[in-house]
Structure 1
Amino acid sequence: MEVSAAAGAALGGVFGTVARLRHGKPLHPRGRVYDAVLRRTGSSEPWGAEWLDAPGEHHALVRFSRAAGLPRPLPDVLGLALTFNGPAGDRHDLLLATTGLRPGARFVLLPRRHLFAVPYGSLLPYRAPRGLVLLAAVPMAAVAGDTTFRLLAASPVGRWREFATVDIAGHRFPAPDQAIRFDPVRHPLPGLTWPPALSRVREPAYAVARAAAPRLGQSRGH
């Protein structure tokens, strides 16, 4: 068994144990859910993927959560999960967690306290036609209770460039948490893929999460 497959199997075992102990999701057990609008302006540096390079707009659903479920005000690794449908109705999921933005910190999970005041990153890179790309969401100033995040893209050591914004309506008044199962392996972003070695590491953990959490039952526009 190669190293990436062995690591994935080990992670799957850990996630399975946690899921059994919690009788549900192994991570991010509770969250806050919001309606949002994803507006793509396009990256100034083309990646060869239309979703990053070209303008567009999608209705979306965003869930903020704490990875370990630690009670506030204790710091925790925070998560920002976004899901939307493409024009043909196909679903796409993006999962981000609190990381740093500098090259050395983009691959490090950082415990934080405030959901709407910290940057989130993809931690691991996607593969675009023109190379590996990391994604990040950085908050802008809140206006009248709404919050906007800038979506950024960069190579693992390159400069961040904005390609979209996510406008979250009424962040002070979240909807009740929903039985949503985000899965970026089964629902990848348009034009982006996971490097095969990373897929082998991630897939067992997401397989456990699929078994532990119900499916997303509601449909959304794009």
Structure 2
Amino acid sequence: MMGEHSSKKYDEELEAIRSKVLLMGGIVETQFLDAMTCFRIGNLERAERVMREDDTVNQLEVQLDDACSHLIVRRQPTANDLRTVMATIKVITDLERIGDEATKIARVAKALHTRGAAGINHYEMVRGIANATSDMLHDALDAFARSDQQQALQLIAQDAVIDHEFRSIMRNLITFMMEDPRTISAALDTLWVAKAIERIGDHAKNIAEYVIYVVEGKDIRHTRPAPQVQDDA
């Protein structure tokens, strides 16, 4: 009976942590969407709100890290339970870094629209990669919530598309700067935003990899996951 009670208590504590991680994920997802809106239309008030939300995300990171540490000390989880806690700690770190990247975008958006862009449509340059990354982040959080390794594997493949798109944006911006030096300042701002978006995609991929680690017990970081074989039966 004591063992059953302890196990139930552990499950409740872990679920409370996971719920708070998903809350944190919702905040950083909104941060990213709001930051891109600022970059598109120059809403300075919204940019300031994105930057303020970074403090909330940082506080959640500290609280959740502390909760995970206490859970390990009190419950001493093993095997899959321990993998789940360790992966959750890593997800928390990636979410905090996504918040940092969204804050960078908001800062650039504020500076760009205060100064005024010259010669390029800065938002259209990054619209495609921003939409793809937003979808990827949303799906990564969904895969984490449902422990869906199939969805996680698909997300990892999407990161290569985002990386390719970033390289294309970088080449186009370099061309703009070479052809018209007046665009250099705005082009550099747009490049920093594109890089921040690409980094958010990297963090979303990391979350997907942690889902696979929890479900399958395999650490596939820095490796190419084996292709999924379809059953013809």
Structure that is richer in strand per residue = 1
Q: State whether TM-score is above 0.5.
A: no
Q: Which bracket does the TM-score occupy, shorter chain normalised? A: under 0.3
TM-score, scaled relative to structure 2? 0.23
Query: Higher helix proportion, which one?
Result: 2
* Structure exhibiting the larger radius of gyration computed from Cα positions: 2
